[in-house]
Amino acid sequence: PFPLYRELREDSPVLFDDAQEVWHVFRYDDVQRVLSDHAVFSSRMRAGREPDQNHLFASSLISTDPPRHRQLRSLVSEAFTPRAVAALEPRISEIVDELLDRVAGTGSMDLIDDFAYPLPVIVIAELMGIPAEDRDRFKRWSDIVVSQTREYESSPVRASAQQEMAEYFFAMIERRRRDPGEDLISRLLAAQVDGEHLSVIELLGFCALLLVAGNETTTNLLGNAVLTFAEWPGTIERLRAESGALPSAIEEVLRFRSPVQSMFRVTTEDTTLGAASLPAGSRLAAWIGSANRDGRQFPDPETFAPDRRPNRHLAFGQGIHFCLGAPLARLEARVALSALLARLPGLSLAPGAPLERIDSTIIFGPRALPVQWQPT
Ligand code: HEM
C-alpha cells in the first residue's frame, strides 16, 4: 500500500469515499490529531450506522470515550505497567525456547505458523488464566473476529464464533467468581469503580478485546520484523553482534511496517481537517501506516533505519487510547527476536517462496514466512 499512501498524502491528504461514507486521513499531523483529540474524534465508532451494535467490543475500552474510558482503563492498566509486564519475561523466554526447541534441528519453518502465531496466544492465555487445552479454540475465534472487522456486514460464521467465545468467557467468569486466582480475570472481577464492579458485558468485552488486540498484532510485528531484517542487507548480522541495537530496530519495524494500518473514529461536532470540512457524525479512517511514512515527520521515510532517532511513530496509537499492551508487545518482540538470532545461525528467507500479505486493510503482515538456517 505504501506507494499509494505516498500519492494520497501529497494529492488528497483528507479524502472522502462516497461509497463507504468514510473520510480517509493520510498525513502524520492529521492522523495524530484524529487519534489524540478524543473530544472531537470519538471512538464509539460502532454507534450509528454499524449494523452489529451488540458487537462484543461495543462496551470495551477501545470503543468508549471519557469518562467511562478513564474508569475502565484504570481498572486494567495496573496489570499492564512496564513493571508488571517485565515480571513475565522469564516465562516468555521459556515459551520461546520451547517453540524453538521443536524446530531448531530441522533447519526450516514457517515463521508465522510455527512461531509468531503461537507465542502471543500462549502468553495472553496464561495471563488470563486460560487452560492450555483451550488455546486452539481461542486462536480460531480470534482469527475469525479479526478477519471480519474489515467488512461492515456481519457473517453467520463470525456471529457464531462470537457467540461461542462469549459463552466460553461467560463460563470462565462464573468459575473465577466462585474460585478466584491470581489471573487477570480474577483481578478484574474484584476491581471496583466508585463502589461498582464491572458488568458481565464489560468483562466479556474486555476479554475479547485482549484476545483480539493482543494476538494478531504481535504475530505480525514478529513476521514484519523478520521479513524486514532479512530484506535489508547486513541487519541480521549487525543485530546478532550488538544485542543493544534490537529495541530501536523493533521500533523502526513498527514504523516501517505497522501491524495496525488504520483506526476508526467518528466526529462528535463539525470540524476541519486540513482543507476539508467534516460535519458532525463523520466516520474516519486514520491511516497510521501512511502517517508513519510521512516525510514531513521522518527523514528518508522509505528507508528502514534501525537506529532512527527520534522515532515518534504512531504504531501504538496516541493519547488516551494508546495501546495498553505496548510494553508487553515490545517485551515479547525483544525476547522472541533475540532468541531467533541467537539460536538460528544463518537465518534467512527461504528462496523462491512467494510473499503473500494477510487479506485485510487494517492488519498488516505476511500470511506465511518460510525461513531457513543451518540446523543445530
Ligand atoms: C490499543 C496497536 C499489541 C491491547 C491499541 C491501539 C493501537 C494498537 C494502534 C490504539 C487504538 C485506538 O487509538 O483506537 C497494537 C500493536 C500491537 C499491539 C501494533 C503489537 C505490536 C497489544 C497487546 C495487547 C494490546 C499485546 C494486550 C495484551 C490493547 C488494548 C487497547 C489497544 C486493550 C485499547 C486501549 C484503550 O482504548 O485505552 N493497540 N497493539 N495491544 N491495545 Fe494494542
Mean pLDDT for 53-71 is: 74
Mean pLDDT of the chain, nearest integer = 88
Best of 217, 218, 264, 334 for a ligand 1 pocket test (most atoms within 8 Å of beta carbon): 217
Count Cα neighbours of 66 within 13 Å in the Cβ-side half-sphere.
11
Q: Is 260 in the pocket of ligand 1 (CB under 6 A)?
A: yes
Atom of ligand 1 at shortest distance to CA of 314?
9
Residue 193 to residue 15: CA distance in whole angstroms: 41
The closest residue, in CA terms, to atom 30 on ligand 1 is 324
Best of 316, 330, 331, 332 for a ligand 1 pocket test (most atoms within 8 Å of beta carbon): 316
Confidence class of residue 45 from pLDDT cuts 50, 70 and 90?
low
Region label for 352, one of left (φ > 0), alpha (ψ between -120 and 50) or beta (otherwise): left
Residue carrying the nine cell digits 515527520: 297
Residue 159 to residue 332: CA distance in whole angstroms: 31
**pLDDT at res. 87:** 83
Q: Is 316 in the pocket of ligand 1 (CB under 6 A)?
A: yes
Q: Which domain, by its residues, includes 32?
A: 2-372
**pLDDT at res. 82:** 77
ipTM of the complex: 0.99
| pLDDT, tens digit, 9 for 90 and up, residues 290-338 | 999 999 999 999 999 999 999 999 999 999 999 999 999 999 999 999 9
CA of 251 to the centre of ligand 1 (A): 15
The closest residue, in CA terms, to atom 36 on ligand 1 is 321
Weakest-pLDDT range from 17-31, 136-150, 303-317: 136-150
- In degrees and rounded to multiples of 5, residue 18 shows phi and psi of -60, -45
Mean pLDDT for 172-197 is: 85
Q: Is 329 in the pocket of ligand 1 (CB under 6 A)?
A: yes
Q: Is 14 in the pocket of ligand 1 (CB under 6 A)?
A: no
Mean pLDDT for 357-372 is: 91
Percent of the chain with pLDDT over 70: 93
42: which residues sit within 8 A by CB, 6+ positions away?
A: 65, 265, 266, 267, 268
- Per the structure, the count of domains in the chain is 1
Weakest-pLDDT range from 199-208, 324-333, 344-353: 199-208
Mean pLDDT for 276-282 is: 96
The closest residue, in CA terms, to atom 6 on ligand 1 is 323
**pLDDT at res. 256:** 98
Sheet of 370-372, strands arranged across: 108-110, 370-372, 348-349
Q: What angle do CA 60, 190, 197 make, to 5 degrees?
A: 55
What is the four-CA torsion angle of 164, 168, 171, 172, rounded to 10 degrees?
Answer: -160
Q: Is 205 in the pocket of ligand 1 (CB under 6 A)?
A: no
Residue 373 to residue 99: CA distance in whole angstroms: 16
The closest residue, in CA terms, to atom 37 on ligand 1 is 62
What burial class does residue 113 get, using C-beta atoms within 10 Å of its C-beta: 0-12 exposed, 13-18 middle, 19+ buried? middle
Confidence class of residue 59 from pLDDT cuts 50, 70 and 90?
low
Atom of ligand 1 at shortest distance to CA of 318?
13
Amino acid at 170: F
CA of 233 to the centre of ligand 1 (A): 31
Q: Which three cell numbers stand for residue 82?
A: 512496564
Q: Is the pLDDT of residue 47 over 60?
A: no
244: which residues sit within 8 A by CB, 6+ positions away?
A: none
Atom of ligand 1 at shortest distance to CA of 320?
38
- Tell me the CATH number at 223: 1.10.630.10
Answer yes or no: are the C-beta atoms of 286 and 31 closer than 8 Å.
yes
Answer yes or no: are the C-beta atoms of 225 and 186 closer than 8 Å.
no
Residues constituting the chain: 376
**pLDDT at res. 155:** 72
CA of 351 to the centre of ligand 1 (A): 34
Atom of ligand 1 at shortest distance to CA of 73?
38
- The packing angle between helices 326-343 and 246-256, to 10°, is 120
**pLDDT at res. 227:** 97
The closest residue, in CA terms, to atom 39 on ligand 1 is 323
What burial class does residue 49 get, using C-beta atoms within 10 Å of its C-beta: 0-12 exposed, 13-18 middle, 19+ buried? exposed
**pLDDT at res. 56:** 55
Answer yes or no: are the C-beta atoms of 97 and 86 closer than 8 Å.
no
Confidence class of residue 212 from pLDDT cuts 50, 70 and 90?
confident
Confidence class of residue 345 from pLDDT cuts 50, 70 and 90?
very high
Q: Is 325 in the pocket of ligand 1 (CB under 6 A)?
A: yes
Atom of ligand 1 at shortest distance to CA of 265?
14
Cis before 375? omega within 30: no
**pLDDT at res. 146:** 60
Weakest-pLDDT range from 27-36, 132-141, 217-226, 273-282: 132-141
Going 171 to 173 to 177 to 179, the CA torsion angle's sign is: positive
